Structures are given as structure tokens and as C-alpha cells.
């Protein structure tokens, strides 16, 4: 039987990609961010997951507004590196697990989550920044397989926070129903506080971000009541991405224990990191 | 704006009504995810805008690099990053303009302005 062994909530700021690729890990402005992932990678090396389910959003790279799915799940054995308008990062194609994806599609749709199923999908910074921080790729590939789950957090109406949380709970049921002995981690990406447009560009709110991580750990069911309006007012319009962290949290059991927590807000985005180990 | 969402000061909420208004602009930006299209844009911006049926007002916003105006016209911020990149305007430069500040003034408001 497959099982979820861990969950990670983390930001997917695009500038982290080029900073990583240019070797800025020791640059004083970036070091606090990159150093926070060293213990996380050590922890993951002990957990030895086989697959990562990555809950993320595309930034108008592979999904144009002409047809914009609310939830889209990858069902392929590989995923291309998408060009989001500034060229592609020098990363190997992402390895998928189509059999596991197909199982998830079947179970989730039976469970009334009417997903868009993608047999071809390109992934960009929303997926690649978090994955490469947790599971650095080499020229020979990635250390784990992935299942990308793309969520509309860009074009309102968005799914509610509660819906995202329930999707996580359904993912847990689907994983536990898979006959192969897979160890699965789930990443909820995006946020934290940020606003990237209007006169309020650059708005951040560390107090909100710390509160969100507290609630995510101790009161996720209560946190799932949060409205888009509240997130946007308190943490900036683009902070609404945080609803994807609730999908990750929903996939964990009540026994899940928080392991790491970090926060760094150098420029325009509160970059949070929180991990949970599940039994 | 959607029925359940209330306006927030100095903020654009990208909903379906705004997305529909910005359809031509966003479709043009989406094309910039292709290297060949980026070259075409850089080679002849006017022809590129005409190909995507931009109105005269929309073309003017692009010509003048009026990022605040483009957001108000329905351009999505992530679509705008692509046109920003093609015109040599980083997110932070566009952001400074939207705040009504110089780039240098904007950087002074950041916690660690070296993390660019």
C-alpha cells in the first residue's frame, strides 16, 4: 500500500531559480533561504520518498487563459520544462509516474473532484523552484518521480481554501488505496504574502505569514475557512496562492508532526518553509 | 469584479471580467513564451501588436511601457512579466513604476535589496 510520509509548504518565488543556477547559494542576500533547505534535504534523504505530488500553479506558461482549468493533474511519464517567456532553466525533463497518476485521476474523479487530466504538461517555476530546492536534479535526472497538480489561483473565481483542503483529504484516500508500496511526499507551493501589481506592489506581512504557519500546523481545519478576500487584504492579492498549502495539509493525518519551519522576506515575497512528517 | 469579492485599495483583482477585457493583451503575452515569437516582437513591435488585434489604446500602453495602465486594461501580472522581459523591464522595475517611484527609491524600501 502506498502512504504519505511527509508534507512540505514552501514558496515558489521565480528569482530563486536564476539565483540557484548562478550559484548564489553563499551570497549573503540568498544564503538564509538556501541554508534553510539543507536540513530539509537531510530529512528527505532519510524518508526516501519515491514520488512527490507537487501542488502548484502555472504562471501563464503552459496554461493560457483561453482554456484555464481549476484543477489539472499530470498523467504522464515525463513533463517538459516550460518556457514562461524568459527561456528555459537548464534542468532535465521531469520524470513522472503515469500509473500512479492514472490511479489518482480515477480515485479523485470517483471522489467527485472533476479534474482536467493532462497527458502532456510543461512545468515552470511554480513547480521547478520548490522541487529543485527539495530534490536537486543532476544532469542524469531527478531523484524522485513527480505528479504535478496545477491549481487556478490566478483568475478568479478560484477554488475555495476549503475545497483545496478537501482535495488534499481525497488525495490521501487515493494514495492509501494504491496497491504498490510507494512512499509519497506532497508539496504545497506558493505565497506567502506578496502583491505584484498596482500601487500596493511589494506589500508583505510577516505577522500574517507567521500566523498562517501557526494555524497550518495547529488548526488546519479552522484555517480552511479563510476567504480569498481576507488573504488578499491581509497579505496581498498574489498571496492567495497560499490556499495550495492547504491541499498539502489536508493530505496529512492527524498524527503528522511539524519538523522544520523557516521564514525569509528579502524583497517582495514572504518566503515560508514548513515541513511535516507523517507516520 | 466578482460578486463575492470587494475592491481592495491600490490592487487589481484579476477576475473573469478583467481577463475578458484584457484578452487581446494577454493572448499577445502568452505568445511570448516562444523564442521565435519573442524575436518577432523585438523585430517589429507594431506588426506584432497588430497581429494580435490590439486596439490603439492598448498599443499606446505598450509603446509607452505604461505598466500601471496595462494592469488596469486587464493584462495579467504574470503575462506582463513576459512583455517586461522582452522589453528589458524586470519585475522590480515594473513594480517601482506602478508604485510611482524610481527603481532606486523602490530598492530602499526592501529588507534585503541584494536578493535580486
Its domain, for residue A92, covers: 3-277
Confidence of residue B3 (pLDDT cuts 50, 70, 90): low
Which pLDDT belongs to residue B1?
Answer: 43
- Min distance A257 CA to chain B CA atoms (Å): 31
Give residue A279's pLDDT.
79
Buried b (16+ CB within 10 A) or exposed e, B30-65: bbbbeeebbebbeeebeebbeebebeeebbebbeeb
Chain A residue with Cα closest to B9 = A200
Which residues of chain A make contact with B16, given a CB cutoff of 8 A?
A: 155-157
Distance from CA of B56 to the nearest CA of A (A): 22
Q: Which residues of A are catalytic?
A: 125, 194
* Rounded distance between C-alpha atoms, residue B63 and residue B46, angstroms: 9
Test B115 with A19 for CB contact under 8 angstroms: yes
Banded model confidence at residue A56, pLDDT cuts 50, 70, 90: very high
User: Taking 90 as the threshold, does the pLDDT of residue A164 lie above it?
Assistant: yes
Q: Which of A3, A7, A5, A4 is nearest to A260 (CA)?
A: A7
A83 interaction partners in chain B (CB closer than 8 Å): 33-35
Task: Burial-class residue A78 by CB neighbours within 10 Å (0-12, 13-18, 19+).
Answer: middle
Number of independent structural domains in chain A: 1
CATH of the domain at A191: 3.40.830.10
pLDDT, one tens digit per residue, over B70-106 is: 999 999 999 999 999 999 999 999 999 999 999 999 9
Sheet arrangement for strand A122-123: A94-95, A78-81, A122-123
pLDDT in tens, A103-129: 999 999 999 999 999 999 999 999 999
Length of chain A: 279
Average pLDDT value for residue range A12-38? 95
Q: How far is B78 from B33, CA to CA, in rounded Å? A: 11
- What's the rounded Cα separation, in Å, for the pair A265 and B110? 9
pLDDT(B40) > 50: yes
Q: Average per-residue pLDDT in chain A?
A: 97
A35 close contact with B: CB closer than 8 A: no
N- to C-terminal Cα separation, chain A:
14
In Å, how far is B18's CA from the nearest CA of chain A?
A: 9
* Grid cell at residue A209: 505569514
Would you say the pTM of this structure is higher than 0.95?
yes
In this predicted complex, what is the ipTM? 0.96
A265 with B86: Cβ contact below 8 A: no
Domains of chain B, first to last: 16-88 (1.10.700.10)
CA distance A267 to A260: 22
The string of pLDDT tens digits covering residues B48-63 is 999 999 999 999 999 9
> How many CA atoms lie within 13 Å of B41's alpha carbon, on the beta-carbon side?
24
Question: Using a CB-CB distance cutoff of 8 angstroms, which residues of chain A are in contact with residue B11?
Answer: 195, 197-198, 200, 232, 236-237
pLDDT at B116: 84
Amino acid at each position: 500500500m502506498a502512504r504519505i510520509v511527509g508534507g512540505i509548504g514552501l514558496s515558489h518565488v521565480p528569482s530563486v531559480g536564476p539565483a540557484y543556477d548562478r550559484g548564489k547559494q553563499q551570497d549573503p542576500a540568498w544564503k538564509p533561504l538556501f541554508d534553510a533547505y539543507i536540513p530539509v534535504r537531510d530529512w528527505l534523504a532519510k524518508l526516501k520518498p519515491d514520488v512527490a505530488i507537487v501542488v502548484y500553479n502555472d504562471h501563464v506558461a503552459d496554461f493560457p487563459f483561453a482554456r484555464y482549468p481549476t484543477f489539472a493533474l499530470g498523467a504522464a511519464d515525463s513533463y517538459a520544462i516550460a518556457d514562461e517567456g524568459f527561456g528555459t532553466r537548464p534542468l532535465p525533463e521531469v520524470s513522472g509516474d503515469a500509473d500512479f497518476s492514472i490511479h489518482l485521476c480515477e480515485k479523485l474523479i470517483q471522489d467527485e473532484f472533476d479534474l482536467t487530466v493532462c497527458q502532456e504538461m510543461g512545468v515552470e517555476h511554480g513547480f521547478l523552484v520548490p522541487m529543485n530546492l527539495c530534490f536537486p536534479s543532476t544532469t542524469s535526472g531527478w531523484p524522485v518521480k513527480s505528479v504535478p497538480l496545477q491549481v487556478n489561483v490566478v483568475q478568479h473565481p478560484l477554488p475555495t481554501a476549503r475545497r483545496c483542503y478537501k482535495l488534499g483529504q481525497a488525495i490521501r484516500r487515493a494514495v492509501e488505496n494504491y496497491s504498490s508500496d510507494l512512499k509519497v511526499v506532497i508539496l504545497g507551493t506558493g505565497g506567502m504574502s506578496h502583491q505584484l501589481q498596482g500601487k500596493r506592489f511589494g506589500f508583505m506581512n510577516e505577522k500574517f505569514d507567521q500566523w498562517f504557519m501557526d494555524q497550518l500546523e495547529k488548526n488546519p481545519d479552522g484555517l480552511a475557512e479563510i476567504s480569498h478576500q481576507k488573504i488578499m487584504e491581509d497579505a496581498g492579492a498574489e498571496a492567495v496562492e497560499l490556499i495550495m498549502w492547504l491541499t498539502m495539509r489536508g493530505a496529512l493525518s492527524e498524527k503528522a508532526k511539524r519538523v522544520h519551519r523557516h521564514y525569509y522576506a528579502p524583497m517582495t515575497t514572504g518566503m515560508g518553509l514548513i515541513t511535516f512528517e507523517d507516520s | 469584479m466578482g460578486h463575492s469579492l470587494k475592491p481592495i485599495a491600490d490592487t487589481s483583482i484579476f477576475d473573469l471580467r478583467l481577463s475578458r477585457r484584457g484578452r487581446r493583451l494577454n493572448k499577445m503575452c502568452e505568445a511570448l513564451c516562444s523564442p521565435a515569437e519573442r524575436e518577432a516582437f523585438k523585430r517589429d513591435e507594431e506588426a506584432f501588436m497588430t497581429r494580435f488585434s490590439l486596439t490603439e489604446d492598448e498599443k499606446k500602453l505598450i509603446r509607452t511601457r505604461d505598466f500601471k495602465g496595462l494592469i488596469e486594461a486587464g493584462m495579467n501580472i504574470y503575462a506582463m512579466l513576459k512583455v517586461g522581459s522582452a522589453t528589458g523591464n524586470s519585475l522590480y522595475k515594473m513594480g517601482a513604476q506602478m508604485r510611482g517611484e524610481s527603481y532606486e527609491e523602490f530598492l530602499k524600501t526592501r529588507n534585503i535589496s541584494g536578493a535580486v
